[in-house]
Amino acid sequence: MPLNIDYRPKSFSEIVGNQSTIDSLKAIYENRETDFPRAVLLQGPKGSGKTTIARIIANTLLGKSYDKCPSDFTMIDGGDIKVETVRDIKKLAYIRPMYGNARVWVIDECFPRGTYIETPIGQKPIEQIKPNETAFSLGGVDRVIAIAQRQVPLSRLILLKFSDGRRLFTTKDHVIFTQEGEIEAQRLNGNNIIFPFERGIYETSEISPDMPKSYSQMAKILFKRTSQFINDKTAPVLSNLWRTGRKTGQQIRLESSEIYKRGSNDQSFECIIGDKERNQGFVVCYDLQMVKHPSYFANGIPVHNCHMIGSGGASEKNLPQNNMLTLLEEPPGRAYFILCTTDPQRLIGTIRSRCHTFEMQYLRRHEMISLLTRTIKAEEDKSGPLGITPAVVTKVAEAADGCPRDALKILDQIIDAEPDKMEGAIGAFFYEEKTVADLCKAILNKESWNRVRLMVKQMDLSNPETIRRAITGWMAAEVMKGDSPLAALVYDNFQRPFYDNGKAGFIMAVYKTLIDIA
């Protein structure tokens, strides 16, 4: 089995790092025999050990290993929490446990983000959009007049990957707006030009009077080719879109697409299709209806009124979360709830206030090295010397950047390599500090976007989350050197993880930062 599974801690004593949090948990779950908290919230970055701790807590509450209590232990993806789910939990919570001492629910990655919609106040998850709110369409600043939810069969789902790193989950027959006109997602190809969302272009409905004649002619050609969806409200916007796109190169194309095929590409769709979706045969998708034009921007891509993925949200009108309140405040019988989240702000305040909260942080360098050294020794005890040098251990720790799960995954992938090739193998994961430092210096020096853009193009953006953490670490170090409001502003722009929007999110964060500090 993978090292991160083989060496998953089975007790609090086996956990490396986060000592104050672990001490608090041990004081409750190892020193007490009764009066355990009924609702616990574990918060912290991805891969920091939240789910591992949840399993350890569950073992204590159950009185035996959770895998020996199939009907008493339930792990639910937070995206599955619907009104009906809460109703089912309430029924089961009153039934006596069959195998263990309690019934335990672990709600993992509570209420994850869905598709992001471009609005005048920034991006917003589609599931949090409400009627009468404003959002951008091809008509500029527009108003949402209706929102619908649809049950979409799994066979209709498609994943689109674009040339700038954007990803979009939607239905294969939903329409994308391109330079060539309206094209269904399943018929989109690398020759179709797409103009992603750019703030400023869609905030005006006027054509600039100094627009070059040549661009006007190009715009007319564009209007003629896309007559099926152009009207008097969208024409000025798309004129600006064409002009600006041609001048700044803000054009993208489809890189690849995948239609969901059960048993074939499940991994590509695992963030939206879990066991429940496979069993029921559908996912819940969202549809927005706009006033000016039947379009909006999903993850920055101009789309027709369509079905988009989304779930959860910290709205006080979030029915699933609100229905959980009574369960968390006064859980019946022997019911216990453990919530795990990377973003506690997406939980409504009354949920958070009802939980005992414990926070996990990424490991410090010496803690990471301790974890790796312990794991290597255990492997060597089983199979003999591996030839892993202290320098390699340090490189793995640097590449994982505090994430224990990533550290063990990297170790797992290099452990069978020849000793003299191990450091080279780590290069696939390790991002050179000098590259990040050069980018950070360029940003703080307020270099032009053209110069910074060239630096970004030379970077390996296959793991933008690692680069983001390196940038925030670098900026935090700058702040510690003295008063540096500029570094603090940059840090603020890179606080949000790039798990959902990947390479595109990183590029836009750099671009937005240069605009903010100009």
Q: Among 21-30, 38-47, 122-131, 452-461, whose mean pLDDT is lowest?
A: 122-131
Amino acid 55: pLDDT: 94
Mean pLDDT of 44-51: 84
- Reported as a single tens digit per residue, the pLDDT across 165-183 is 788 888 887 888 888 888 8
Report the b/e string of 110-127 with b at 16+ CB within 10 A: bbbbbbbbbbeeebbbbb
The pairing of beta strand 335-341 with beta strand 39-43: parallel
The pairing of beta strand 175-178 with beta strand 282-290: unpaired
Q: Among 53-67, 81-95, 225-239, whose mean pLDDT is lowest?
A: 225-239
d(CA 199, CA 164): 17
Kindly state whether residues 260 and 295 are assigned to the same domain.
yes
**CA-to-CA dists, residue 403 to 17, 46, 51, 195, 408, angstroms:** 11, 8, 14, 36, 9
Kindly state whether residues 165 and 226 are assigned to the same domain.
yes
CATH classification of the domain holding 241: 2.170.16.10
Kindly state whether residues 125 and 274 are assigned to the same domain.
yes
Q: How confident is residue 443, by pLDDT bands cut at 50, 70 and 90?
A: very high
Kindly state whether residues 153 and 205 are assigned to the same domain.
yes
Q: Does residue 432 or residue 11 have the better pLDDT?
A: 11
Amino acid 277: pLDDT: 78
Kindly state whether residues 176 and 123 are assigned to the same domain.
yes
In one letter, which amino acid is 441?
K
Residue showing tokens 């807590």: 57
The pairing of beta strand 116-119 with beta strand 122-125: antiparallel
Amino acid 446: pLDDT: 92
- The answer as to whether 490 is a domain residue is yes
Determine the structural domain holding residue 442 and report its residue range. Answer: 433-517
CATH classification of the domain holding 346: 3.40.50.300
Mean pLDDT of 448-474: 85
Mean pLDDT of 120-138: 84
Average of per-residue pLDDT values in the chain = 79
Mean pLDDT of 425-448: 77
Picking from 384, 405, 426, the residue at the C-terminal end of a domain is 426
- The answer as to whether 8 is a domain residue is no
CB 159 within 8 A of CB 258: yes
Kindly state whether residues 171 and 300 are assigned to the same domain.
yes
Mean pLDDT of 475-480: 82
pLDDT over 80 (residue 324): no
Kindly state whether residues 126 and 197 are assigned to the same domain.
yes
Query: Considering its fold, how many domains does the chain have in total?
Result: 4
**CA-to-CA dists, residue 292 to 135, 198, 234, 345, 360, angstroms:** 11, 18, 8, 32, 46
- The answer as to whether 227 is a domain residue is yes
CB 368 within 8 A of CB 395: no
In one letter, which amino acid is 298?
A
- The answer as to whether 353 is a domain residue is yes
Kindly state whether residues 218 and 296 are assigned to the same domain.
yes
Amino acid 434: pLDDT: 64
d(CA 44, CA 103): 25
Percent of the chain whose pLDDT exceeds 70: 80
CA dihedral sign, ordered 111, 115, 120, 121: positive
Kindly state whether residues 333 and 405 are assigned to the same domain.
no
Percent of the chain whose pLDDT exceeds 90: 25
- The answer as to whether 2 is a domain residue is no
Closest CA to 452 of 378, 369, 370, 517: 517
Amino acid 467: pLDDT: 84
- The answer as to whether 411 is a domain residue is yes
- Reported as a single tens digit per residue, the pLDDT across 338-381 is 998 876 766 777 888 889 999 998 899 899 999 999 999 999 99
Amino acid 306: pLDDT: 52
Kindly state whether residues 374 and 393 are assigned to the same domain.
yes
The phi-psi region of residue 473 (left if phi > 0; otherwise alpha if psi is between -120 and 50; otherwise beta) is alpha
- The answer as to whether 6 is a domain residue is no
Mean pLDDT of 211-239: 38
Kindly state whether residues 437 and 470 are assigned to the same domain.
yes
- The answer as to whether 4 is a domain residue is no
Q: Among 125-139, 305-319, 341-355, 360-374, whose mean pLDDT is lowest?
A: 305-319
Q: DSSP letter for 194, please.
A: B
Kindly state whether residues 481 and 352 are assigned to the same domain.
no
